[in-house]
Amino acid sequence: MWPNVAWRLFWRELKRGELWVIAFALCLAVFTVVSLSGITESVRSALAQRSANFIAADKILRSSLPFNEAIFEKAATLQVKSAKQMQFSTMVFAGDEMQLVSVKAVSASYPLRGKLTLRQHEAVDAPIVPTFSQGEVFLEPRLLQLLQIKAGDMIEVGVSQLKVAGVIAEEPDAPLSVFGNAPRLLMHVDDVAATEVVQPGSRIGYRYQFAGSDALLTQLETEVKSLLTLHDRWQKLDRESAVGSALDRAEKFLLLAGLLGIVLAACAAAVAASQYSQRHAMSVAVIKALGVTTATARKIYASHLSLVTLLSVSIGLALGQFASSSAQWAIVNWLGDYQAEFSSRPLWLGLLTAVICAGLFSARPIWRLAAVPALNVLRQRQQEWQFDIWHLATGAVAVWLLMWLFSGDLWLSAWLFLLCVAFAALLLGMAAVIVKVAKPMSAGQSSALRLALANLRRRLWPNSFQLITFSLALFLTLLLYFLRAELIGQWQQQVPVGAANQFLVNITEAEKPQISALLTKNQLTAGNYYPMISGRVLSVNNETLTEPDAENSDKAESENRDTANRDTAERKKGEQQADQTGTAANAETAERRRGIGRELNLTWLSQMPANNEVVKGQWFVDGGKAEVSVEVELAERLDLAIGDTIGFSVGGQQFSAKVSSFRKVDWNSLQPNFFMILSPDLMATFPATYLTAFYLPPAQQPLLNQLARQFPTVSVLSVDNILKQINDIIAQVSLALTVILALVFAAAVLVLVAQVQATLEQRQQELAILRTLGAKTVFLRRAVLAEFAALGLMAGVFATVLAEILLAVLQVRLFELPFSLHWNLWWIGPGLGMLLITGLGYLLLRKLLIVDAPTLLRRALQ
Amino acid sequence: MSFTPEIYIQAKALTKQVQLTDSTLTILQHIDLTINRGDSVAIVGASGSGKSTLLGILAGLDTATSGEVYLAGQPLHALDDDARAELRARQVGFVFQSFLLLPSLSALENVTLPAELAGIKNATQRGRELLALVGLTERADFYPSQMSGGEQQRVAIARAFITKPAILFADEPSANLDETTGAKIEDLLFELNAQQGTTLVLVTHNPALAKRCAKQATMQAGHLTMAVAEVTSVA
């Protein structure tokens, strides 16, 4: 009965290669979805874990009010790990020495994420202290010098005497400040009360740190909502640092590449299914003439589709899972402490992809195939290519569904989908016009070219459709190739080779030449010396700034987090969260001004720093006169206008400056950045310290010890680890992008192969006729080459134009990169189109071109 | 309509029209035809005269615009597509001008295909026997692309007889073959037809082939003229 026949036909067709293109297309679609969603999830999860290391937890609740134990109890109930952390500034005493320190008091479970390394003394190879207990403190190494003590000595913190048990070698949520904040002291949170440092009105930052799965953390957030006050706010992960933005862009690229890969694989599946139906039309007519009903014919061919889907899905899932596991393995290797989590999402997404691809792309051609009338056996002609609006419609719905499923982003998928539809419509129109105008053009051409153009013209619809898929395949490949190059270029530019990896802060005027001399002696070059002084913004246009109570905690917290980069990121989040919670208008205004009443690091320069750009107003003319240049986002927050007056207080002296320009600052540049730059005339009389940066090769690391000994008050901040981390990530992500590009290219090639194969039958007949009429191999080869070269060139030109347009849109809108034209694209696009399509066309048709006329005729008649 | 067991096909007032953009094309006009069991009838006529259309309707591959057709007592004009297919599976064998073997199946598999689809047991054994009858025992495992046109048509003839059909429709069975091979195929067809006692309806434009049939019907511009007196024919 029919299952036997169906199975035998399936097996034979599989062996003959009839089903390979469709199988490969489905397999590729499933593989693309499984591997890309797996890799994207791994990257996302690695990013989250890495970011978690920066804050030593997965989630932090910040408060200016003392700990509410009920919140920790909730966390314990949910089996979410928690830790306490308090941050404040205080004076510590050791004998006659005293020093302002930045205290971090933590519970024993700290850190929940990342690594805390404590050593017995300041030597780099000193023994590690595994845990710390109550009654002990650990200090930043420079604090030992400042207090002139050594490990084992006692210091006074408030009214308590605590033992210096060692130094802090590595702190996961260390301050990355390039500005002179107070040195760190780490103590046990349970010792704080005894010190009596915390008094009503003290500026204390309380942090509830949590670690657990996303689901549990979300549940926790919901459950503790009723316990929170206006003074509590959730801190999200840092995604605006250099690392964060690099990975963020990579993630967007992966998503986009995945979407485009799916479109291509789906196109290949659709073309292959169409081609399969076309090739089998006569077989269906024959078996129907032999007495098979339409329903049985449908069952036979639907079973073929199901079997080929099953086969492709199994292979696609296995290969996709392998690729995704390899990526996860690479990430584990690269991050070390990264804990890979198995997610079933890529697998069911892959399964759904196969079902959608097979159901919506291939079912329609198979349905139509079974409807081929038995009468065709008497008509003696091949089934002509027919424009099937339903196939197109179901295919389009399938593409959109796949995009939506994969991205989980309704708008992005709808936007991309509409774009693809618009492009296809545009291409169809353009192709039709070009193929039509080719007729008068071909009049004076050689016969091979004339035949090629005649071929193109005769199969206008199939050729236009072919041209669309060729163009789409080339366009998507070009788009990803250039985007990838762009992203990698931007990242490398962000961290150029030899970028400054050491910052020296708190340099006095007298130390400047000495430090320069020391660096020069070691064949190193110091960058600019930026003068710095702490100041406070008092007023804007004589209106005094008010500080909300919550500000108290921010003071302490901001001192600890105050890298230029992170500071902005955090503040932006603060704003967003304030907006989200919808607090009253007054609170919002206060929130907007948050941080401005507190101390800021001010600098004064006559020349604008290299990575800054004036977006409004004018940079100081002739060094400026009582002027200030403000970072543009800060200016927006303060509702500043050019010409406004800002009142400052520095060292007890008050003065005002006129806002003369707004600057855009690249916070990811890892260069010293400032919110406010004053004109030098204002600050001439103030005693300043300086900040400089230089590149220290790994081999010269010991120089840091010499610097610390020779200039004890100068703080050295190394960003080597950050730079290394960024470089690592860039290298890994670049590799991932390349692999994905290769995947998309493979999908594009598959589309091209499917398309050329779709015309093989018809070409075979034409070649048989031409051969019979006496056409020589050379002539046929030239005609075929000319036809594919013309198609390739057209597809290449269309693809180039579209890629340039979409690149511009994506650069500016999605990746927030500056707009630029891609001159290379204009020769790579058409060239690649011509070479690739001609090459593939020739390879696929090569065998037909050398076959003799009788064989061709016999094949054509089968 | 009453049938005698001798009457195998009966067509009455058969008309086939095709709607063109701005006109109607009449391919068959009011055709009456009776074919008895065991008859061999050739339908001859020039290209475009409507002979293949008539064959299609008589075999249940196509439907007429008006009129009635009975095959083995079954009213084809009243049956839907699937019912006609089932009837074909039980009663009808085909030989086509361009052989129409399934390229992915071997010679033997092509021969046994209709039997397997009809659920007939011992299909393979019967297939081998038929292949032996058409002289292709050695080619059983060959694929169509590995065989000559004559061999392919012999496979097609073996396929046509595997279900032991009551009637065989042949559409220009030797038109795609050279004269010698064509003649051999024709011999084989008539030989098997005689052996199996099958009714044969053959469409051809070849007068010599037509003459080998007991009766000839000529199609001309949609009209049918029968050349044998005992068959009722109305032009």
The answer to whether the beta carbons of residues A230 and A583 sit under 8 Å apart is: yes
Query: pLDDT at position B227, please?
Result: 60
Percent of chain B with pLDDT over 70: 94
Mean pLDDT of A110-135: 82
Q: Which two tokens stand for residue A511?
A: 């130390």
Residue of chain A whose alpha carbon sits nearest to that of B54? A378
In the beta sheet, which residues pair with residue A161? A156
Mean pLDDT confidence for A580-592: 41
Which amino acid type is present at position A7?
A: W
Task: Find the residue in A nearest to B172 (Cα).
Answer: A378
Per-residue confidence (pLDDT) for residue B107, from 0 to 100: 93
Task: Let me know if A125 is exposed, middle or buried by CB neighbors in 10 A (0-12, 13-18, 19+).
Answer: exposed
**Please, how many CA atoms are within 13 Å of residue A473, restricted to the half-sphere of its CB?**
33
Residue-wise pLDDT for A727-740, tens only, equals 766 676 677 777 77
Is A375 in contact with B97 (Cβ distance < 8 A)? no
Which one is predicted more confidently, A498 or A649?
Answer: A649
Is pLDDT above 70 for A235? yes
Q: Do A292 and B94 touch (CB under 8 A)?
A: no
pLDDT at A350 over 90: no
A206/A262 Cα distance (integer angstroms):
48
- The answer to whether the beta carbons of residues B195 and B228 sit under 8 Å apart is no
Which position has the higher pLDDT, A542 or A1? A542
H or E stretch including A273?
A: helix A242-289
pLDDT band at A700 (very low <50, low <70, confident <90, very high): confident
- What the block records as the tokens of B234 is 């109305």
Annotate B41-110 with DSSP letters as a single string: EEEEE-TTSSHHHHHHHHTTSS--SEEEEEETTEEGGGS-HHHHHHHHHHHEEEE-TT----TTS-HHHH
pLDDT of residue A82: 92
**Taking CB atoms and an 8 Å limit, are A1 and B119 in contact across chains?**
yes
pLDDT at B142 (0 to 100): 92
Dihedral sign, CA of A391, A392, A393, A396? Answer: positive
Distances, alpha carbon A616 to alpha carbons A66, A541, A638, A640, B55, in Å: 43, 19, 15, 11, 87
Nearest-by-Cβ selection for A377 from B81, B96, B148: B96
* Cβ atoms < 10 Å from Cβ of A726: 22
A196 confidence band (pLDDT: 50, 70, 90): confident
Q: What's the confidence (pLDDT) of residue B235? A: 33
| Mean pLDDT computed over every residue of chain A | 77
Which sign, positive or negative, has the C-alpha torsion A299, A304, A310, A316? negative
pLDDT band at residue A141 under the 50/70/90 scheme: confident
Which among A290, A378, A380 has the least Cβ separation from residue B117?
Answer: A290
* Four-residue CA torsion sign, A803, A806, A808, A812: negative
Contact A468, A422 (CB under 8 A): no
Has residue B197 got a pLDDT over 90? no
Q: Give residue A72's pLDDT band: very low, low, confident or very high (50, 70, 90).
A: very high
| Amino acid A567: pLDDT | 36
What are the tens digits of pLDDT across the range B165-184? Answer: 889 999 888 877 788 888 88
Residues of B in contact with A294 (CB under 8 A): 81-82, 85
* Inter-axis angle of helices A720-758 and A242-289, nearest 10: 20
Q: Comparing A171-175, A804-808, A835-839, which segment has the lowest mean pLDDT? A: A171-175
**Residue from the list A5, A288, A861 with its beta carbon closest to the beta carbon of B98:** A861
CB contact under 8 A, B82 and A16: no
pLDDT at A664 over 80: yes
Q: Which of A47-61, A175-189, B76-90 has the lowest mean pLDDT?
A: A175-189
Across the interface, whether the CB atoms of A1 and B117 are under 8 A apart is answered yes
Q: Which residues contact A166 (CB under 8 A, 6 or more apart)?
A: A118, A119, A120, A121, A126, A129, A138, A151
Query: Residue A646: is its pLDDT beyond 70?
Result: yes
What φ, ψ does residue A121 adopt, rounded to 5°? -150, -175
Q: Above 80 in pLDDT, residue A854?
A: no
Question: CB under 8 Å to A800, separation ≥6 — which residues?
Answer: A478, A825, A826, A828, A829, A830
Q: What is the mean pLDDT of residues B216-235?
A: 65
Cβ neighbours for A593, distance < 8 A, ≥ 6 positions apart: A545, A546, A637, A638
Residue B234 DSSP class: B
A854: cis peptide before it, omega within 30°?
Answer: no
Give the mean model confidence (pLDDT) for residues A689-717. 79
Can you tell me the distance from the alpha carbon of A39 to that of A41, in angstroms, rounded to the nearest whole number? 5
Structure confidence at residue A382 as a pLDDT band (50, 70, 90): low
Mean pLDDT of A659-678: 80
What is the average per-residue pLDDT within A776-801? Answer: 85
Confidence of residue A669 (pLDDT cuts 50, 70, 90): low
d(C-alpha A50, C-alpha A46), whole Å: 6
Q: Comparing C-alpha atoms, which of A206, A225, A197, A234 is closest to residue A64?
A: A206
Q: How confident is the model at residue A462 (pLDDT cuts 50, 70, 90)?
A: low
- Each domain of chain A, given as residue ranges in start order, spans 1-55+244-408, 66-228, 447-495+722-861, 502-546+593-721
Q: How far apart are CA A550 and CA A114, in angstroms?
A: 28
What is the DSSP secondary structure assignment for residue A32, as one 8-state letter?
H
d(CA A318, CA A306): 18
**DSSP symbol at A545:** P
Residue-level pLDDT at A208:
92
- CB-CB: which of A1, A13, A380 is closest to B97? A380
Rounded-to-integer distance, Cα A843 and Cα A839, Å: 6
Q: CB burial class (10 A; 0-12, 13-18, 19+) of residue A523?
A: exposed
Do B197 and B39 meet the contact criterion of CB atoms below 8 Å apart? no
Q: Taking residues A592-613, what's their average pLDDT?
A: 71
**Confidence class for position A469, pLDDT limits 50, 70, 90:** confident
Strand (E) or helix (H) holding A356: helix A345-356
pLDDT tens readout for residues A414-440: 877 887 788 778 777 776 676 666 656
Reply yes or no on whether the pLDDT at B150 is more than 80.
Answer: yes
Q: How many Cα atoms sit within 13 Å of A315 on the Cβ side?
A: 13
Q: Say whether pLDDT at A445 is over 60.
A: no
Which amino acid appears at position A748 of this protein? A
- Rounded CA separation A105/A84 (Å): 8
CB contact at 8 A, A188 and A138: no
The pLDDT score that the predictor gives to residue A590 is 47
Amino acid A497: pLDDT: 67
With a cut of 50, say whether residue A839 has pLDDT above it. Answer: yes
What is the per-residue pLDDT across A287-310, written as a single tens digit (0 to 9) for each?
A: 888 888 888 898 888 888 888 888
Contact A517, A720 (CB under 8 A): no
Tokens found for residue A448: 């091979």
Q: Give the percent of chain A with pLDDT over 70.
A: 77
For CA atoms B183, B189, B193, B199, the dihedral sign is negative
Q: Given this model, what pLDDT does residue A457 score? A: 65
Q: Which residues contact A855 (CB under 8 A, 6 or more apart)?
A: none
Distance to chain A for B172, nearest Cα, Å: 10
DSSP H or E stretch at residue A150? none
Pick from A450, A489, A21, A46: which is nearest to A275 by CA? A21
Pairwise CA distance, residues B223 & B219, whole Å: 5
CATH of B7-226, one of 3.80.30.20, 1.25.40.10, 1.10.3720.10, 3.40.50.300: 3.40.50.300
* Chain A positions in Cβ-Cβ contact with residue B105 (cut-off 8 Å): 8-9, 12
Report the C-alpha gap between A108 and A827 in whole angstroms: 63
Say what the pLDDT of residue A585 is.
40
What ipTM goes with this model?
0.87
Residue A272 has pLDDT above 60, yes or no: yes
Q: What is the per-residue pLDDT across A491-538, written as a single tens digit (0 to 9) for each?
A: 776 666 667 788 887 788 888 888 888 888 888 877 788 888 877 788
pLDDT of residue A463: 67
Q: Cβ contact (<8 Å) for B94 and A374?
A: no
Mutate to test the interface with B, among A11, A293, A294, A857 (most CBs of B within 10 A): A293
Cβ contact, residue pair A375, B92, below 8 Å: no
Whole-number percent of chain A with pLDDT over 90: 7
Q: What number of other Cβ atoms are within 10 A of residue A684's Cβ?
A: 9
**Tokens 């409807």 sit on residue:** A371
User: Highest mean pLDDT range out of A312-326, A600-614, A814-828?
Assistant: A312-326
Which chain B residues are closer than 8 Å to A295 by Cβ? 82
